[in-house]
Each structure stands twice: as C-alpha cells, then as structure tokens.
Amino acid sequence: MRCPRCNHNNSRVIDSRQTDDGRAIRRRRECENCGFRFTTFERIEAAPLLVVKRNGDREEFNRDKILRGLIRSAEKRPVAMEQMEQIVDHVENRVRGLGENEISTSLIGEYVMEDLMNVDEIAYIRFASVYRQFKDMSVFLKELQEIVDKAKSADGKEQDLF
C-alpha cells in the first residue's frame, strides 16, 4: 500500500478490524519509510450501481461524494467523522439493498437527510438547503417548521416557532 505522505510502496499493518457489519475491513498501517500512520479500508467490490442525476446524466455511485456533502454540512458542528461515515455506510447499504442497477440522486438525498436529521438538525438544514435548492424563504421556513413539529411531537409540546 502506497504511503499518502511519501509515496513509499511498503507499509505494515498495525491493526485490523471489521467494520460496516462485517462488510469491510479497516486497517491501520504504518509506512516503513517515514513512519506515517494511515487508515485503509478493504471492501467487497459490488456490482456497479449507477446514479441518475436530475439532468438525466448517469454516473457510478460514489460514496465519497456523499461524505464530502456531509462534511460541508456539518462544518463547525459537533458531528464526528465516524458518525458521518456511518451515515454513508447506512445509505449505501439501503441503496444496494434495493437490488436496482440505477438509483436517483433524489432517493439518495432523502436517505441522507433521514439519517442526518437524527444526528444534527443544523447540519440537516444545511444539507437540505443545498440538496433541495430552496427557491425562497417561505420554502426554507416550511422545512424549519417541519423540524420543529417533529421535535414537539417527540417532546409533547404544543407551540409554534413562527
């Protein structure tokens, strides 16, 4: 495995453990040249899954794109990288569990938002504002009101935010 710091081609495995319910192996490695420690993941190569974008284009499913979107939405929020990776794992498992060869970006986005809402509401609003492309303030306020309503039903309170 090539070191991300010095590009030396040899590293040794320090620790290995299963992740993602046994569907992946996480390995901690150390470069034999510079001593830099890094993490790699080994996963089963699944059948290609195509994502159908809003404009009709198709591209291969890329879990890194979902993770990048989550990182941007959770910036300066108390959301751990591990939580974001768990969301990506859960979304990918749900999508692959459908058994389809093609999946729409809208369904992937809905899955991400379902999981993100349970982790951090502010990160959820940030993600939703980009994903749903709010056209004006009324759409944004409607989304906020839905979050408040869900929180109230969970708490048993009966008052409006707006």
Tens digits of residue pLDDT in 51-79:
999 899 999 999 999 999 999 999 999 99
Look over the chain and give the mean of its residue pLDDT values, rounded to a whole number: 88
Burial of residue 74 (number of CB atoms within 10 Å: 0-12, 13-18, 19+) = buried
Q: pTM for the whole thing? A: 0.64
Q: Is the dihedral of CA 11, 16, 19, 23 positive or negative?
A: positive
Q: Which residues contact 115 (CB under 8 A, 6 or more apart)?
A: 87, 90, 91
3-state secondary structure the chain: CCCCCCCCCCEEEEEEEEECCCCEEEEEEEECCCCCEEEEEEECCCCCCEEECCCCCEEECCHHHHHHHHHHHCCCCCCCHHHHHHHHHHHHHHHHHCCCCEEEHHHHHHHHHHHHHHHCHHHHHHHHHHHCCCCCHHHHHHHHHHHHHHHHHHHCCCCCCC
Tens digits of residue pLDDT in 8-26:
999 999 999 998 778 889 9
